[in-house]
Amino acid sequence: MTSKTFKGFAILASLILTFGLAQAEPKKVGFIYVGPVGDFGWSYEHDQGRLAVEEAFGDQVETSYVESVPEGADAERVLTQMALAGNELIFTTSFGYMDPTINVAAKFPDVKFEHATGYKRADNVSTYSARFYEGRAVIGHIAGKMTKTNQIGYIASFPIPEVIRGINSAYIHAKKANPDVEFKIVWVFTWFDPAKEADAAQTLIEQGVDVIMQHTDSTAPMTIAEEKGIFAFGQASDMMEFGPTARLSSIIDNWAPYYVARTQALVDGAWESVDTWDGISTGMVEIGEFSDRIPENVRADAQAMSDAISNGSYHPFTGPINRQDGSAWLGDGEIADDGTLLGMNFYVEGISGSIPN
């Protein structure tokens, strides 16, 4: 055997070996959740995304998760351990994981991180978030058309831009659909407390609302709406089984396409740090099936709005829109810039009450 053929043989062998190893060693993808996967809201939907990754990649990818991780010191430790254990891509699925993600990412330049809803990025940290306000525009329209009492209840969690944006978007479109509409907004200061959310729904109904929107995670408001015979919308997941007659539609967090795409990028070696803020167009925000109880023309209008938002011909925050105090925010035809939307801390004109702090 000449040395040349030996060399060739060796290369071939090592190729087979690496190829074989690549086949045998699946890529590890990790997830950390702020709540339990059984919350049927935020963390549950992220875990559905994880399961979609498992489904899509089979043996190529191995996923794992840690649930109910407090934001802060514990998150940083869990992330470090996941990185040490060989995860190559880690999704950190809550705003409060932002600083821990950045810290750990700095220590593990070869590990890729994806942080949900934050604003800090690095070469190995992407951020992603969903334009839920697009969905809220559509259900706001439906709510405006469906209310008989002209009173719409809104169960809000914490006064942060994400939630305020949703209220504004829903209000603007409800108002367009029905100029007499009024919003009753209740802040519950929790993302997840079924009993308190149920109380909030009950209170709103007593105050005469006949459509409820929620920006909290539990299905309790839907259950109460069903019991009291009023309308509601699914939040985060479809919630069909909790309100078969009450549920008009829903805004579903669908992280699956994004998670699959990012995992694909990792597998292909094409992963790059990006900032993603997707809405209806990519399916990250999904509008649940319209109920038969919505009149046909309203359904058609809502569908048209959804389509227009999806193809980019309509933006839910298109002027003229004034701030609550009457000062001008967007001129005629002007479209809100993402910067203002991301930091939104004011109500638009017409909403009564003030944002608590």
Letters for 209-248 (x = contact with other proteins by CB under 8 A, - = none) are ---------xxx--x-----------------xx------
- How many Å apart are CA 169 and CA 309, to the nearest integer? 13
Residue number with CB closer to other proteins (44 or 280)? 44
Q: What is the residue type of 344?
A: M
Q: Whose Cβ is closer to other proteins: residue 68's or residue 303's?
A: 68
Looking at residues 253 to 272 of the shown chain, list those that interact with other proteins (rule: CB under 8 A): none
Tell which positions 328-347 bind other proteins, by CB under 8 A: 342-345
CA-based nearest residue to 92, from 114, 125, 110: 114
**In b/e form, how buried is each residue of 67-78, taking b as 16+ CB within 10 angstroms?**
bebebeeebbeb
Please give the radius of gyration of the chain, using alpha carbons only, rounded to the nearest integer.
23
Please report the DSSP string for 267-283 in residue order: HHT-----EEEE-TTTT
Q: Which stretch binds other proteins (CB under 8 A): 131-139, 152-160, 172-180, 323-331?
A: 152-160
CB of 263 to other proteins, least distance (A): 16
Q: How far apart are CA 323 and CA 315, in angstroms?
A: 17
Taking CB under 8 A as the criterion, the residue among 56, 95, 267, 283 binding other proteins is 95
DSSP string, 161-207: HHHHHHHHHHHHHHHHH-TT-EEEEEE-S-S--HHHHHHHHHHHHHT
> What residues numbered 13-32 form the site for other proteins, per CB under 8 A?
30
| 277 binds other proteins per the rule CB under 8 A | no
Quote the least distance from Cβ 332 to other proteins, whole Å: 27
Following CA atoms 156, 160, 164, 166 in sequence, which dihedral angle do they give, to the nearest 10 degrees? -70
Q: Are 56 and 233 contacting, i.e. CB atoms less than 8 angstroms apart?
A: no
26, 96, 283, 350: residue in contact with other proteins (rule CB under 8 A): 96
Q: Which of 8, 20, 38, 179 binds other proteins (CB under 8 A)?
A: 38
Q: Which stretch binds other proteins (CB under 8 A): 95-103, 281-289, 290-298, 299-307?
A: 95-103
When asked if residue 206 is in the footprint of other proteins (CB under 8 A), the reply is: yes
Q: Is 207 in the site for other proteins (CB under 8 A)?
A: yes
The alpha carbon of residue 10 and the mean position of all alpha carbons in its chain are separated, in whole angstroms, by 50
Shortest distance (Å) from residue 57 CB to other proteins: 17
Which one of 8, 72, 109, 320 is in contact with other proteins (CB under 8 A)?
72
Measured between alpha carbons, how far is 79 from 240 in angstroms, rounded to an integer? 35
User: Toward other proteins, which CB reaches closer, 48 or 310?
Assistant: 48
> Does position 40 bind other proteins by CB under 8 A?
yes
